[in-house]
């Protein structure tokens, strides 16, 4: 039995160790991807860029689309190139968010292609969903728009520079809700885009 709050990768490693397969002495815990996967990456603007991924696997963990669009607008106004990513079923969402000043790449990559895109980004702005952990696996800093429905210490990006944003004391805290139980989704809906710009500046100085 593993105590609550232990990061999920460490819980998995403890299970493997209990089954007789601990990490080798010269290894360190961390997320890593295979490097032999060749995947196409969509065309993107030249130069440095950030990625904003507005979707999430469950609605309670997603920043509201309008707020994501305002975040993209604020980042673009601060001089950043912003790529907006999403799955094939999120094209309407990514188009709405990217219209504020980003490049819409919704539905244009598979998982391996998204990993390559995130690996080359200077920073990723994303909720508590798969691409946050994919970014951690390729070593890209994360601005985590984290709804407190589950503990951040257990489910946040693992071993990568991260700034957590969102109201950690919102009434939905630790409910594991999949749909926001509080009108207005206050934990993320009230997030000031200027705080995202400041978080990116912290993670990507200069």
- How many CA within 13 A on the CB side of residue 197? 15
Q: Which residues pair with 82 in a beta bridge?
A: 50
20-62 pLDDT, tens per residue? Answer: 999 999 998 889 888 777 778 888 777 899 999 999 999 999 9
Q: How confident is the model over 146-175, as pLDDT tens digits?
A: 999 999 999 999 999 999 999 998 988 989
Calpha distance 173→40 (Å, rounded): 39
Which residue matches tokens 């998995």? 12
Backbone angles phi, psi at 82, to 5 degrees: -125, 125
Query: Does pLDDT of 205 surpass 90?
Result: no
Domains of the chain, CATH where assigned: 46-203 (3.40.50.2000)
Helix axes 130-137, 111-119, angle to 10 degrees: 60
Q: pLDDT tens digits for 72-131?
A: 999 999 999 999 999 999 999 999 999 999 999 999 998 999 999 999 999 999 999 999
**Tell me, what's the pLDDT at 2?**
82
Radius of gyration of the chain (CA): 17
Residues ≥6 apart with Cβ < 8 Å to 19 = none
Q: Is 151 exposed, middle or buried (0-12, 13-18, 19+ CB in 10 A)?
A: middle
What is the per-residue pLDDT for 183?
86
What are the DSSP calls for 105-172, one per residue?
-TT---HHHHHHHHHT-SEEEEESSHHHHHHHHTT--EEEE--TTS-HHHHSPPSS-EEEES-TTSTT
pLDDT digits (tens, 9 = 90+) for 180-199: 888 888 899 999 999 999 99
Of residues 55, 143, 125, 66, the one with CA closest to residue 99? 66
């Amino acid at each position: 039995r593993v105590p609550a709050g232990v990061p999920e990768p460490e819980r998995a490693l403890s299970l493997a160790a209990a089954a007789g397969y601990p990490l080798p002495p010269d290894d360190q815990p961390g997320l890593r991807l295979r490097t032999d996967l060749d995947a196409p990456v969509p065309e993107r603007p030249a130069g440095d860029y950030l990625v904003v991924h507005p979707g999430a696997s469950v609605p309670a963990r997603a920043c509201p689309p309008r707020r994501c669009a305002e975040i993209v607008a604020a980042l673009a106004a601060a001089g950043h190139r912003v790529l907006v990513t999403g799955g094939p079923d999120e094209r309407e969402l990514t188009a709405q968010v990217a219209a504020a000043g980003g490049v819409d790449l919704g539905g244009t990559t598979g998982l391996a292609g998204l990993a390559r895109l995130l690996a080359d980004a200077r920073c990723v702005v994303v909720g508590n969903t798969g691409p946050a952990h994919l970014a951690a696996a390729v070593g890209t800093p994360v601005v985590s728009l984290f709804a407190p429905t589950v503990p951040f210490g257990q489910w946040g990006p693992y071993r990568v520079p991260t700034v957590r944003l969102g109201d950690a004391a919102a009434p939905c805290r630790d409910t594991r809700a999949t749909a926001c139980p509080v009108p207005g989704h206050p934990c993320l809906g009230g997030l000031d885009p200027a705080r995202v710009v400041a978080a990116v500046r912290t993670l990507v100085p200069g």
